[in-house]
Every structure is written in structure tokens, then in C-alpha cells.
Amino acid sequence: MALARGRQFLAIPGPTNVPLRVLQAMDRPPIDFTSPEFAALAEEVQHGLRKVFKTEHDIFIWASTGHGAWEAALANFFSAGEEVLICETGSFSEWWFEMAGLLGLKPEYLPGDWKQGIDPAKVEERLRADTEHKIKGVGVVPNETSTGLTNDLAAIRKAIDAAGHPALLLCDTISSLGSMDFQMDGWGVDVVVGGSQKGLMLHTGLGLLGVSAKALARADEADVPRRYWDIRRSLQMPYHMRNPGTAPAHFFYGLKESITFIEEETLDGVFARHARLAEAVRRAIAEWAKGGALNFFVENEARRSNSVTAVEFADGYNADEFRFAVRDDFNVMLGGGLMKLGGKVFRIGHLGDLNEPMVWGTLAAIEATLKRKGIPHGSGGVDAAITHLAEA
């Protein structure tokens, strides 16, 4: 590998860049997690997180990856053999579906097109057919990180209501929370899975779960064995004692700082910045695509994500070879294709603590690699991104 000079550009869709002020907030010795100091911090973080989730309900926090929060979402509200409908969007929906089966639920996969997104009418149709209301939950990944595909959660909520179906709406917002609008209460989402290392601009290590009153009411009957993830146990504790075992206090210092950072920019400001930067990325790709060797993975233009974009190569090209060249030659890290998309796509993460020059730099490294490798491409990609972001 070439000698890496200068700053590495982390352009993967998570973990994302952690701002210096967040790193500094975490750089401190351990404290007593039963102390009044930590109790006050945990309370502050709880209320800050609710604003980010746009909810009035409790957010549960674990020392875990996002997978932990997935498990918490499936273990707390359902019983063995109960049916959950997971909407197919890409690799993440697939893994969530798989986990539901492993936990003893009866998951059904609602087929979906990875390039087009979930059709709310199909969700409605399936739920209408479930006249006995055997389906207890509908799982959606509103921002499918493996492909950069977004789904319209509010429309899916409407579809569930139109079918008159009582299933809980579960959603995995790990790669959209704090980057794209999300309204837990406004959109009627019952169970919300989040993680620390994407839009929240922290290291990996916190799993988050938003729980509506309707979901909470199911927790008592749910019989999936659980201890670490049991929110009934957590609810008996004050906020600072809810993580089973020793609280990861340094993460709370970091989370408090990142929430403050988000509040300073305002949530709307954060979403607008992500939308602008994402549009610059899309303009570049649209130019490059004119060469015929690569294109957007997501065909449905209205469903392209503001936090991650997957670029698909035509047959005969190897996306991994390409992104390793970008890494080795320019010290820019791009995301790879997951599962069946391995070697076919690379992914640009454009979320979190990111500004214009970082986007330009990443795009320029990609364009330079296209040139070096002689891959046919429209030549004005970076120019188009500059032009877009030059407009105030």
C-alpha cells in the first residue's frame, strides 16, 4: 500500500467522522456511574435524544452495536412464533429478517425491488389479506445503507392505517437519524432502532431504541427470552442505571456533545446540509454515468438517499478493485458492496460531520481514479459538484 500522507478521508456510510469537539468531550477518566454527576448527564442525553427522534417517549440506550438494538426491537415486543412482516429493501432488511427467525419469531419477507423501494400499496395489500391480524409487526429500513435507497415511512404508516391493521411499525433509522428527517411520533413509528456511529457522529458502541406507548404495552406479554435487552427491567431504573451493568459513561459525554452540535446547527440545518452535499454527489455521478461504465444503483430518482449513494459498475468492471485503488492512491475510504452486490457497487457515505471540501475531495479522488484506470466516464463530474455547491 502506498505511504499514506495527509488526512484520510473516511467516506464510508458508517462509522462516520467524529468531530474533534466530540472526541475531546469523551477524552476523560472514568466516573462513578451511580453518581449525581452521571445521573444529570444521562437525563440531559435522554431529553436531547428525544428531540433528535422527535418523540416524547423514552429512548433506551445500550452499550452495543446497532445489531444489539435490532435484537432489542425484536425481543421486547413479540412472542415465539408470532409473525412479523419485514419489507425487503436490501442487505440490512435481509439481516433483520434473518435475526427475527433466529429469535423464534415467524418472519415473512415482503418482496421488494432494491432499485425502486418499498411500494406502500403492497404493504397495505398484504395487511388487508391478514384478516386475523396474525402479523404483529411491520419492519422497515427507511434508509437502506447497502444501496442508498430511501423509503417513505409516512406513506407506509398510512398504508398500515388504511388496512385498519394493528401491527406495530418498527423501523431501523441507523443510517438516517440525524441526517434526514425522521419523526417518530409524527409518523406513528412504534419501535425505532438507532446507533451512535452514523448521523450522531460518535464512535460505534451505542444501540438506541425508541418505544411508543403502544409498543410498551406489549412488552409484558412478549415472551422472547431476554435479559440484556429487557426494557421492563430498565424501566424500573432511573435513566443513568438503565444500561444493564456499568454504564458506558464516556459515550454519554460524547453523545451530549454531538447532540449540542446538532442543536447548534438545528435539525433542519443538518438535513439541508445533507441534502445539498448529497445532490453534489449525485450531480457528479450523473456526469460520470455518461461514459456508460457506471451508474446509480438506485434507479428511482425520488428514492436516492441523502446520506449514502451506491454506484454500480457495468459488467466487466470490479468495484472492489476500483475502490481499493482509490484507497491506496488517494487515502480515501469508500464503502464496498454488501452480499450479492460485492464487487459490483461501491458506496459513498456522505453523512455526519461533513463539509463541501470533503465531498469535493472524495469526488475528485474517484474521478482521478476513473482517469487513471481508463474507465469511460463523462468528464465533468467534479465540476458539476463544485458548481452545485458554489451556489449559496
Ligand X SMILES: *Cc1c(COP(=O)(O)O)cnc(C)c1O
Binding site for ligand X (CB under 6 A): 14, 65-67, 92, 141, 145, 172, 174-175, 195, 204
The least CB distance from residue 182 to ligand X, in Å, is 12
141 vs 189 by CB, closer to ligand X: 141
The least CB distance from residue 205 to ligand X, in Å, is 8
The least CB distance from residue 204 to ligand X, in Å, is 6
65 vs 183 by CB, closer to ligand X: 65
Q: Are 211 and 191 in contact (CB under 8 A)?
A: yes
Bridge-based pairing of strands 135-140 and 83-87 is: parallel
How many other CB atoms sit within 10 Å of the CB of residue 317?
A: 15
Indicate if the alpha-carbon torsion angle 69, 75, 81, 84 is positive or negative.
Answer: negative
The least CB distance from residue 141 to ligand X, in Å, is 5
55 vs 146 by CB, closer to ligand X: 146
The least CB distance from residue 99 to ligand X, in Å, is 10
195 vs 361 by CB, closer to ligand X: 195
User: 3-class DSSP state for residue 138?
Assistant: strand
Residues 6+ apart with CB under 8 A from 158: 120
Task: For 306, list phi and psi in degrees, rounded to 5.
Answer: -90, 5
165 vs 347 by CB, closer to ligand X: 347
The least CB distance from residue 40 to ligand X, in Å, is 27
The least CB distance from residue 195 to ligand X, in Å, is 5
Residues 6+ apart with CB under 8 A from 280: 356, 359, 360, 363, 384, 385, 388, 389
The least CB distance from residue 63 to ligand X, in Å, is 12
Which residue, judged by CB position, is nearest to ligand X in the bound state?
66
The full length of the chain comes to 392
The least CB distance from residue 146 to ligand X, in Å, is 8
* CA separation for the pair 67, 193 (Å, rounded): 9
- Residue 386, amino acid: I
* CA separation for the pair 164, 169 (Å, rounded): 13
- Quote the cell numbers at residue 53: 427522534
Task: Report angle CA 156, 157, 158 to the nearest 5 degrees.
Answer: 90
179 vs 369 by CB, closer to ligand X: 179
Cβ contacts of 365-371, under 8 Å, gap ≥ 24: 365/9, 365/326, 365/329, 365/330, 365/332, 366/284, 366/288, 366/326, 366/332, 366/334, 367/284, 367/288, 368/329, 368/330, 369/322, 369/325, 369/326, 369/329, 369/330, 370/288, 370/291
148 vs 361 by CB, closer to ligand X: 148
76 vs 179 by CB, closer to ligand X: 179
The least CB distance from residue 385 to ligand X, in Å, is 24
Alpha helices in the chain (DSSP H): 20-26, 36-53, 66-75, 91-102, 120-129, 153-162, 213-216, 231-235, 249-265, 267-288, 319-330, 356-372, 381-390
14 vs 337 by CB, closer to ligand X: 14
Task: For 170, list phi and psi in degrees, rounded to 5.
Answer: -105, 140
176 vs 331 by CB, closer to ligand X: 176
